Structure 1
């Protein structure tokens, strides 16, 4: 079981690097969905006991995996289809630099985790805090470094994924009502932003936020 958890943590780290280094939405969106499925499976694997999995955990998994792993990627793919945008050519920060920032963020994440190592904060796995901090930092990098609104939405979802892992690391188990509330907030935000992106694309034939800043009354 320990080896399975280690593999899941490493794969989440690798998907974060892939999101930073790929310009193709056809690559980034499935990677985001795969990350969401792994996050949904992480909780029952970590909390698996001889007595089985609690109803609380089961409900959370049954809601989290379809939302993170299926619904969010489906919404993003719908945007891609309607806007006919397949990749981001010129982000604010180039992809090699983004990967470099990602490596620095990884070092920072492990440093932040080491600073908390001597505190009485519980953690179900030694890699949980680094993975949580790193995923949050990657989400922030994606939000500030990309021009396309759809990539910024993707970064927002990655940021929430990191907050989810952080909640598990600190609390041992995310409170059901709290997590459901956060998931619904993210769903509504992604849904609204998707509609906005589609409307912007229809009106201006692009979803480049840098060009939108130049609009005048």
Structure 2
């Protein structure tokens, strides 16, 4: 199984990326699925990419947990994954040829991976405040890439960080624009961002981190 990135975030907290290369049959053979899970898989097994994402993220989860036992992965009412028979918190993301999984024994986690594409320019105003767009315009310097590309990568760093925070929270109803406010940060290949997050009517400050990886943007928080 081609794990291409693995990071120990903290004691009991780990993140990994896997490049999806196996066939659906190869992935399926590595899993223990109950009747409910087989029914879920059968409902979209004719959707090739979705099948690979679903299977691949579960095989990666099994690898991170390092267990041969049955893993009872379920989805709650807010579409947040959880492990019904294990103490770990889990977050899952996938984009095109990659799957990302983050697990922790210490509390909630959030992970996001996105393929970097110019299409984000059309929707940036929907998830970023004017002041966030302004600091991106002011901080386009990034070693080794042109300003236009730097802006694109900066937008994706912001998007993925907000997505990771949203998944960390896991209860829905958290607005990307206005509910998660990012402090200005310089774009680097890997870095961390300070954010203010509106949780249950109270503002909370927290950190989230990002990393550019082979034309994708990865972000995580815990």
Larger RCO (CA within 8 A; separation ≥ 6): 1
More strand by share: 2
Does the alignment reach a TM-score above 0.5? no
More helix by share: 1
Bucket of the pairwise TM-score, normalised by the shorter protein? under 0.3
TM-score if structure 2 supplies the norm length? 0.24
TM-score if structure 1 supplies the norm length? 0.24
